[in-house]
Structure 1
Amino acid sequence: MNKTELIASMAEKSELTKAETALALKAFEAAVTEALQAGDKVSIVGFGSFETAARAARTGRNPLTGAEIQIAQSIVPKFKAGKLLKDSVN
């Protein structure tokens, strides 16, 4: 399912227009992004939680030349599925 299909599905279930649903989805994305940028954790009970984690600096290899390269430390977003979501998928 891509973003357009998700918006169509959400609009059908919520009885909102696709335009209103697209705005709601954009607002959700923006709110989660801002919270993660601030270092906060976003938890939606039953669905899951979004948080950030630090990835340490490491040595990698250039696949083309085989030369070693240094990969810098970075902060990455993580999602952990909640129990209700896990149970509904199984």
Structure 2
Amino acid sequence: MHGGTLTRADLGDVVHRRLGLSRAESAGLVERLLYHMCHALSEGENVKISGFGSFILRDKGERVGRNPKTGIEVPIAPRRVMTFRASQMMRDRIARG
């Protein structure tokens, strides 16, 4: 996990080692947590995890974009986007390295 990417399997392994659950139970716990987060976001709810950060939904209106290659203007449809805002605690931990 150092310098790489943290995966679902890595999270399940941490739960297995720290809580002593079976590997299957640990993987199931991680899957249920991610499912509930995804479900809340798909229903239009923001997700806030204290000490970690917030997943925030925003509706963007229609706007005009430009094809950088041709310069032709193209309408960009309205859409919903998700952003992540790290908590102050998380930002401090990242800054310390």
Q: Normalization by structure 2: what TM-score?
A: 0.70
The residue number in structure 1 matching 2:65 is 60
- Matched-pair contact (CA < 8 Å) for 2:51–2:88: yes
Q: Aligned match of 2:81 in 67, 76, 81? A: 76
1:24 pairs with 2:29: yes
Alignment correspondent of 2:93: 88
- What amino acid maps onto 2:21 in structure 1? L
Give the TM-score taking structure 1 as reference length.
0.74
- In structure 2, C-alpha distance between the alignment counterparts of 1:64 and 1:21, rounded to whole Å: 49
| Residue range with higher mean Cα deviation, 55-64 or 6-15 | 55-64
Gaps of 5+ in 2: none
Q: Distance in 2 between matches of 1:62 and 1:18?
A: 49
Distance across 2 between alignment mates of 1:62 and 1:48: 34
My pick for the range that moved more, 56-65 or 17-26, is: 56-65
Unaligned runs of 5+ in 1: none
After TM superposition, what 4+ stretches of structure 1 lie above 6 angstroms from structure 2?
none
User: Is 1:41 the counterpart of 2:50 in the alignment?
Assistant: no
> Residues 34 and 23 from structure 1, CA distance in 2 versus in 1: closer, same or farther, beyond 3 angstroms?
same
State the partner residue of 1:14.
19
User: Corresponding residue for 2:8?
Assistant: 3
Instruction: Give the CA RMSD over aligned residues.
Output: 2.2
Which secondary structure state, in structure 2, belongs to the residue aligned with residue 6 of structure 1?
helix
Higher relative contact order, chain-length normalized (CA < 8 Å, sep 6+) = 1
CA–CA separation in structure 2 for the residues paired with 1:60 and 1:75? 17
Retained in 1: the 8 A contact 2:11–2:30?
Answer: no
